């Protein structure tokens, strides 16, 4: 296969774009996709203070590389989930990335900050690990972003993450979630930081290829708690469909964003309240994160 | 040829494979879920391979 741009030897085929690329033209292609996404969705400008959720995986590190390459100044925040060797190894990779590129990385340790780690919280709350983990990530990354005065919280979710989440929300007809699935969520007065996902046009296979081709050392091992994760299973199924019909994942996601999501929009007057325990925004009295923390710690005392 | 798979890490021996695409057919894996690395370089599905090669199939799906 030959590169679409220079006719040199291709290292990757992007079938939904009907295009093959050599290393340098692929990197350029991905950067352009991200640039276009930032512009199209008016995600941020060069004056905004940006903070990126960094996990040490391919997506967040590739995005950090892309955004700094596009000239944005982006700090990172790493949330230590307390998942054994996997967490310590991905922290090391994140710190090494930041250090060699002279980027600022703040580390928040769930155990130090809140007194529990993901595996224990999952067991205590009867949530799946990924659900306890996702809640903890959303909560603490937003808190850091809001408290440190950042304008925008940037997340590394890729096309496959978003398509699989959409698939899952459609299978279960989770209409509230469908109403909130958007690449830009605005800030609110009561403490939600603006949140954006600039990688939604880049497939997971492409973010991985970007990381490898850009020489980024990322966490290749899978999280030990991911076994049986439904989102990963949906990704696998969507990839089978993609194999038969290149572009089907992107059509599914972007068709929804353009034509489907307006139908599920929630009115702004579901007023958010302030959690009586931590002061973060919530719809109830005590927020879901504080409830997770309480149940985890009380289980430990009981038993 | 030797094929290295991950999560969990394991190795498979295949004989008489001529192109990368055939590896996926033989192992019944979905190409969209992997990248293929040969001698440290990413390669496409039409890349010729021989019994002496070592291929890594790097899974691209991760985390929740
Ligand atoms: S796989 Fe699940 S538990 Fe592991 S880091 Fe991702 S969301 Fe958290
Ligand atoms: Zn080229
Ligand atoms: Zn709270």
pLDDT in tens, A60-94: 999 999 999 999 999 999 999 999 999 999 999 99
On the 0-12 / 13-18 / 19+ scale of CB atoms within 10 A, A212 is: buried
- How far is CA A20 from its chain centroid? 27
Span B44-52, average pLDDT: 97
Report the pLDDT averaged over residues A41-68: 97
Interface of A with B in 10-49 (CB under 8 A): 10-13, 20, 23
What domains are there in chain B, each with its CATH number?
2-59 (3.10.20.30)
DSSP tag of B48: B
Distance A46 CA to ligand 2 centre (A): 29
| C-beta A223 within 6 A of ligand 1 | yes
pTM over 0.90: yes
CB A130 near ligand 1, within 6 Å: yes
A222–chain B nearest CA distance, Å: 6
- pLDDT at residue A303, as a whole number: 65
**Which of A199, A232, A241, A250 should we substitute to test contact with B (largest number of B Cβ atoms within 10 Å)?**
A232
**The token pair that represents A171 in the structure block:** 């299978």
Residue B7 touches partner A, C-beta closer than 8 Å: yes
Q: Which residue of B has its CA nearest to A212?
A: B42
Q: Which residues of B touch A222 (CB under 8 A)?
A: 6-7, 59, 62-63
Instruction: List domains and CATH numbers for chain A.
Output: 38-267 (3.40.50.620)
Residue B13 token pair: 């021996």
Give the ipTM of the model, two decimals please.
Answer: 0.96
The pLDDT tens digits for B4-13 are 999 889 999 9
Of A1, A15, A208, which to mutate for an interface test with B (greatest number of B Cβ within 10 Å)?
A208
Residues 212-231 of A with CB under 8 A from B: 212-213, 220-223, 226, 229, 231
């Amino acid at each position: 296969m030959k590169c679409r741009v220079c006719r040199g030897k291709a290292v990757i085929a992007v079938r939904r774009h009907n295009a093959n690329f050599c290393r340098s033209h692929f990197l350029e292609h991905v950067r352009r996709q991200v640039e276009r996404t930032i512009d199209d969705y008016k995600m941020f400008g060069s004056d905004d203070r940006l903070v990126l959720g960094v996990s040490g995986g391919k997506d967040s590190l590739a995005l950090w590389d892309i955004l700094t390459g596009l000239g944005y100044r982006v700090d990172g925040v790493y949330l230590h989930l307390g998942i054994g060797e996997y967490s310590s190894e991905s922290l090391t990779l994140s710190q090494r990335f930041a250090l060699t590129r002279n980027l600022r990385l703040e580390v928040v340790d769930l155990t130090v900050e809140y007194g529990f780690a993901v595996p224990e919280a999952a067991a205590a709350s009867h949530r799946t690990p990924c659900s306890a983990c996702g809640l903890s990530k959303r909560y603490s990354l937003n808190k850091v972003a809001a408290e440190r005065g950042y304008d925008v919280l940037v997340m590394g979710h890729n096309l496959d993450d978003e398509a699989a989440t959409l698939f899952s929300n459609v299978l279960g007809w989770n209409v509230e979630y469908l109403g909130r699935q958007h690449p830009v969520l605005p800030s609110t007065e009561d403490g939600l930081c603006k949140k954006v996902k600039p990688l939604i046009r880049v497939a997971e296979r492409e973010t991985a290829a970007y990381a490898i081709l850009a020489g980024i050392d990322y966490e290749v091992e899978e999280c030990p708690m991911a076994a049986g994760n439904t989102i990963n299973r949906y990704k696998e199924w969507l990839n089978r469909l993609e194999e038969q019909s290149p572009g089907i994942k992107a059509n599914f996601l972007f068709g929804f964003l353009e034509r489907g999501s307006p139908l599920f929009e929630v009115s702004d007057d579901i007023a958010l309240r302030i959690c009586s325990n931590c002061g973060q925004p919530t719809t109830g009295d005590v927020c879901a994160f504080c409830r997770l923390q309480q149940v985890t710690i009380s289980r430990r005392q009981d038993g | 040829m030797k094929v290295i798979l991950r999560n969990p890490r394991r190795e498979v021996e295949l004989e008489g494979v001529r192109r990368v695409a055939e590896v996926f057919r033989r192992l019944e894996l979905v190409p969209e879920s992997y990248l293929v690395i040969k001698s440290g370089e990413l390669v496409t599905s039409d890349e010729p391979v021989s019994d002496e090669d070592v291929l890594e199939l790097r899974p691209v799906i991760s985390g929740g």
